[in-house]
Amino acid sequence: MTRGETWSHRLLSDARRSSEYPDSLRVVDGSIESEPYRTITIVADPLGRFPRARAGEVGLDEGLALADAVRATERERSIVAIVDLPGQAFGRREEAAGIHLSLAAAADAYATERRSGRQIFALLVGKAISGGFLAHGLQAGWIGALEDPGVEVHVMPAASVARVTRSSPQEVARVATVVPATARDVRTFAEFGAIDELFAVRDAGDPTHAEIATVREAIARARAAALGLRAPVERLNAPAAGTRSLAREVRRRIAEAW
């Protein structure tokens, strides 16, 4: 069982899986401290109809299924996007069919629902990469993450970065040590104020009851404080966002000149 499947299965009490969605989408309704939640997780589907989206990527079908699953959530239910995805699907068919629209439909659903008053949370348990993360996770008002080397955040696989920047994999690895924005580990990402809480786990793929309870308590606290309603821009004001001083400075100067 992958990390995403494990956490989608175990995060909520009284969990019931919805069978209305494609096999690549795990949609589970249940509760945390007797409040209703839905978890949504993209999982690998080796039999999926699009070969480039069989390993848990956000593909053409997944983006649309995400949008539908978000919008179809019962009114009082909060959503937890469980993020364990290697990125978006890379393929010729995907480009021709307009995969960006599928991803946009998902991002649109998350942002619109949050702006209509539904709390949206995200929990990073594995990779959170690029367009896939923009479609599933980054529109959440609160983002938690397991503190684990398998939790990675970046915008492009290293080999592609090297090709597109006309550089070498060695140079890409060197730059990651001096420019934090290009690092891939979740701790560095948290230094941008992007992660609200990090959770220590001994085995991210096989969490203990106590570890799950800690995550549940954090989500319940965040919900009680309505943190799932915050817009992405509010991350700039997070205590840890000191490293994004440049973005704040730009905004301050625009506000002055506007």
Partner 1 sequence: MTGAKPRVSYAELTPRERIAGLVDAGSFREILDPFDRVSSPYLAEQGIVAQRDDGVVIGRARLAERDIALAAIDGRFLGGSVGEIGGAKIACVLERASEGALLLLDTGGIRLQEANLGILAVAEICDAVVALRARAPVIAVIAGRVGCYGGLSIAASLCSYIIVSEFARFGLNGSEVVEQEAGPDELDASDRAAIWRETGGTRRVAQGHADILVDDDIDAVRKAVLAGLHLRHERERLSTSRLRATIAEFAPSRSAEIAPPATRQSLP
Residue from 1, 224, 225, 231 touching partner 1 (CB under 8 A): that is 231
Which of 5, 61, 148, 211 is close enough to bind partner 1 by CB under 8 A?
Answer: 61
- Interacting residues of 211 by C-beta distance below 8 A, sequence separation 6+: 199, 200, 201, 202
Q: Which stretch binds partner 1 (CB under 8 A): 35-43, 63-71, 205-213, 221-229?
A: 63-71
Binding mask 154-183 for partner 1 (x = CB under 8 A): xxxx-xxx-xxx---------x--xxxxxx
**Strand-pair partners of 82:** 41, 123
Using CB under 8 A as the binding rule, the residues of this chain from 77 to 136 that contact partner 1 are 88, 90-105, 107-108, 111-112, 115, 130-131, 133-135
CB of 56 to partner 1, least distance (A): 12
Q: What's the CA gap between 258 and 87, in Å, rounded?
A: 37
Report how far residue 105's alpha carbon sits from residue 135's, in angstroms, rounded to the nearest whole number: 8
For the bound state, the minimum distance from the C-beta of residue 6 to partner 1, rounded and expressed in Å, comes to: 19
Task: List the beta strands (DSSP E) in 74-174.
Answer: 78-85, 120-129, 142-147, 153-154
CA distance 136 to 131: 8
Site for partner 1 in 6-45 (CB under 8 A): none
Q: Which segment (10-18, 32-40, 56-64, 204-212) binds partner 1 by CB under 8 A?
A: 56-64
Angle at 35 between CA 33 and CA 40, to 5 degrees: 105
Number of residues near partner 1 (by CB under 8 A): 78
Residues 222 and 236: their CA atoms lie apart, in Å, by 18
Q: What is the closest distance, in whole angstroms, from the C-beta atom of residue 34 to partner 1 in the complex?
A: 30
